[in-house]
Structure 1
């Protein structure tokens, strides 16, 4: 009887994976694989022949040949000989500096958990040796390499990122597609001979976990046989259990059918949606592909990118942030910097991003710019704010506090210890230094006094102190004792010093050692700074409880003047510090030029 029961269970439909019919009703009922909602952040890579002219946009061919936009026509007339065709750019797509391992390491450093590469854009050039794209692929022309295979291998061997592929359904100037379009898509030569075979090819050969479809060419999903392909993908493909897809499968499908919704490029609704969605956007404000004529102001700052991530995740979406490599295979330094900056921020704040769910409210109703995420299992709510309030007090209107169950940062020493985390809201400078310092201390039980740790401890301590000073100045009324109170609070907090694995005497020694480091620049400083700012520099140099009074007396000014100037200088110094990139190699130079 037991054997018969087991046999029945194995053969019954409940013991098998669900199968889906080639209809939107059936396909849309497929649960989205859980990994996609957990990861939150991915990198989009737009790379192709359009990276050779690298002018204006990845739509270069269309704007030049079809729309004949004057900037593009003039660019070609000025820089290329008569008769030069877009196909002539193919051999110039060389990728000689393309290093898949290096790309994988850069992508890993960004904190992203998935990557999507353009296997084929609307120009029709495939980054793999497709047998359906004769002499217009990266193995036959240009790099003479299987770009998709190389990057997929490196991503899987060196990172924990999920590998995905973008694929354009249509091609601007393919004769078969143009023929079908002229027949109002009543014929289906192009999808039958080109587009669909390519989709089956890349899924079977490279097994992507994200299939990012795009470019419907104004044709309906029935023309592309999208439901038929997706039924195979979900039922019988090698990635049927893990693959996720988007919503761009033909006219009328976007934001309505498919795995997750994209709705439009750069879609960021700012409110919760009932369906999983993705905000695909670009670091370059104007192009998805690399542009040689881009200006610095064309790139989003790290603060703007973090804001996009936080808003997107709070509202239940994923952020897919795009970069565009050069024709020779380099990820330009501006993209590398943004990726690493994002990774720095996520190393500190990732707990509030990865694996979270939308909370009952997405942003605070009292304080603008505060966004919430939620971890149900831990019963933890995260309030993410990107700027410390000018008042020094963060007021939240939506969390309902419960006495005895709500953690508070009311104790001043705890406030001091949390300052580094607060700084990370706008930059990871202080936190990065703190983590490096901890790493150095954990490798030795002795007091930190190596040159690198020495300089880093100074930077961390003084960055923390400056923020504390600024916070206290705004948070309470100034008095003759406010500076003494803050200094004593910072320097005498034994637990705080223990966080840096050093004795109080050592710390005070480091403070004293900072004086000559700054003093040797006095000539330059006195020539460049006003008397008021020199007051603040002198206070900062001495950093002792009685320095406030002595410096005020030395310069013949009131204590209130010293306090006001110090507050402004603290803000100025923080502004500079928070935008520095600190490494073990340049930390000494920053310490030496701290003023």
Structure 2
């Protein structure tokens, strides 16, 4: 593809900057995401397709510990990666309990307004009947169109549908590990299975498949991506978006894959990303594409995604914060975030003009475990009561008040120790919603300093205040210093409480 489909957008930034992010996304506030695929089989967490090979010349310091742990697990359970590499794990993925309709009903009841399916992770396996990748979920593993089934379930439940595409720059960087070999020990120098070719598959379970289609061409750490590899990635991206017309496309890269500033930028940078963007926006007018580093002038052309980090202040443009209940892929013994932690992250994100995309790791068979179900049920119970203060709202004149918050412009996510002085705000028309991040202890009042007359944020005094989940009008008094609201003896929900102020 060298041009775009017929439509207003051309493959250049000046043309694409005329776009505006769709209102459905600004209204949605909460989405659920599925990291599920062959890497789930080992139940050892994220990055398994890379780290099963163990540390090698390209392994960075931050991944050494995980790489050694996953490599030891792989060799104990499956054998040496010269004989049993990632390609062999793909065969073991079955998804025999995958029920997208039942899961989507649960996600809808949890409060999600959009759902994002994995299309291909960095392991380079496509989860649909891919035209350009023989290593896919229809020819192998579950032998099922996972993306198509998720799309039908999401739209049947009334949710917007998206796909995430991680294959690309990260695959090029990740899977060079398959071309390494042990540096020491009894198999030192024995090549891993990335060196195998289609010819080597005769008489094996993978006869007719080429490992090079999975791992890419032989390369060393730091080698630039080849034009053929780049073209194949964008052919697959076009295929999945043309088939399912997702309204959100998540690209796991700092910029458009293989463009200037990408995780793996060739020289010269590839124009394929801009070509895709124009084609996609012309075909899906309500669509949005997310990347992770965006100049201010491009903030309406593409959506800012912030991974596992909280912003310190509101952003003038809608943005997306993505995180997971636990590890990205299912991991035995992983500590999960609680429903309360996730409610606080959701509230803080929405007060700053963001939407929360929450990953739900699935077991290899496609189901979710009881701990995940409990977390989702806890979020859903809270949203049933307080969702009116989230969905369709906009940031208020101040996003919040109180001593607890994110230090600096951006910080790694954490469970913050909120106090009864910490408040977050949203609004809709002339209604202000105040989220009490902790229930006042030892007193029966909430003090909202941003609603005092001296703050100057309210044009006229409130006429009614009530607590969502309670509904009775509450007595209040506005002074220069604060709006003081008398609260009932106990909170109506298990997490953040919401005052509706008209």
**Corresponding residue for 1:64?**
52
Measured after TM superposition, the shift of residue 113 of structure 1 is 0.1
Measured after TM superposition, the shift of residue 270 of structure 1 is 2.8
Please give the alpha-carbon distance, in whole angstroms, between the structure 1 residues aligned to 2:166 and 2:140.
19
CA contact (8 A) 1:272 1:316 kept: yes
- Structure 1 unmatched runs, 5+: 1-16, 429-595
1:268 partner SS? strand
1:336 partner SS? helix
Measured after TM superposition, the shift of residue 398 of structure 1 is 0.7
2:311 partner SS? coil
**Corresponding residue for 1:396?**
448
Change (3 A) 1:175 1:324: closer
**2:265 pairs with one of 208, 217, 220:** 220
**Corresponding residue for 1:331?**
368
2:264 partner SS? coil
**Corresponding residue for 2:42?**
53
**2:355 pairs with one of 315, 318, 323:** 318
Instruction: Give 1 or 2: higher strand fraction.
Output: 2
Change (3 A) 1:421 1:98: farther
Please give the alpha-carbon distance, in whole angstroms, between the structure 2 residues aligned to 1:176 and 1:403.
64
Change (3 A) 1:421 1:231: farther
**Corresponding residue for 2:314?**
272
Note the alpha carbon deviations across 1:495-533, whole angstroms, 9 max, x for none: xxxxxxxxxxxxxxxxxxxxxxxxxxxxxxxxxxxxxxx
Within-5 A mapping of 1:48-447: 48-55=37-44, 57-65=45-53, 67=55, 69-82=67-80, 83-134=83-134, 136-157=135-156, 159-170=157-168, 171=171, 172-173=174-175, 176=216, 184-185=224-225, 187-192=226-231, 194-215=232-253, 216=257, 218-220=263-265, 222-223=269-270, 225-235=272-282, 237=283, 239=284, 241-248=285-292, 253=294, 257=298, 258-262=301-305, 264-284=306-326, 287-294=327-334, 298-364=335-401, 368-376=421-429, 379-390=430-441, 391-400=443-452, 405-408=462-465, 414=473, 419=488, 422-424=491-493, 426=495
Measured after TM superposition, the shift of residue 253 of structure 1 is 4.7
**1:36 pairs with one of 25, 48, 55:** 25
Instruction: Give 1 or 2: higher helix fraction.
Output: 1
Change (3 A) 1:71 1:183: closer
Note the alpha carbon deviations across 1:138-158, whole angstroms, 9 max, x for none: 11111011111112112212x
Taking structure 2 as the reference length, the TM-score comes to 0.72
| Bigger radius of gyration among the two | 1
1:164 partner SS? strand
Change (3 A) 1:407 1:214: same
1:292 partner SS? coil
- Structure 2 unmatched runs, 5+: 1-5, 57-66, 176-213, 404-419, 454-458, 476-485, 498-502
CA-atom RMSD, angstroms?
2.9
CA contact (8 A) 1:247 1:254 kept: no
Change (3 A) 1:113 1:180: farther
Please give the alpha-carbon distance, in whole angstroms, between the structure 2 residues aligned to 1:369 and 1:201.
47
Higher relative contact order (CA 8 A, sep 6+): 2
Measured after TM superposition, the shift of residue 387 of structure 1 is 2.1
Note the alpha carbon deviations across 1:296-338, whole angstroms, 9 max, x for none: xx11111110000000000000001111111111022222221
Note the alpha carbon deviations across 1:23-79, whole angstroms, 9 max, x for none: 223313310111000011001110111100111x32012122253632122212222
Please give the alpha-carbon distance, in whole angstroms, between the structure 2 residues aligned to 1:175 and 1:254.
32
- Structure 1 runs of 4+ with >6 Å offset: none
Taking structure 1 as the reference length, the TM-score comes to 0.61
Change (3 A) 1:420 1:355: farther
Please give the alpha-carbon distance, in whole angstroms, between the structure 1 residues aligned to 2:466 and 2:155.
42
Measured after TM superposition, the shift of residue 407 of structure 1 is 2.1
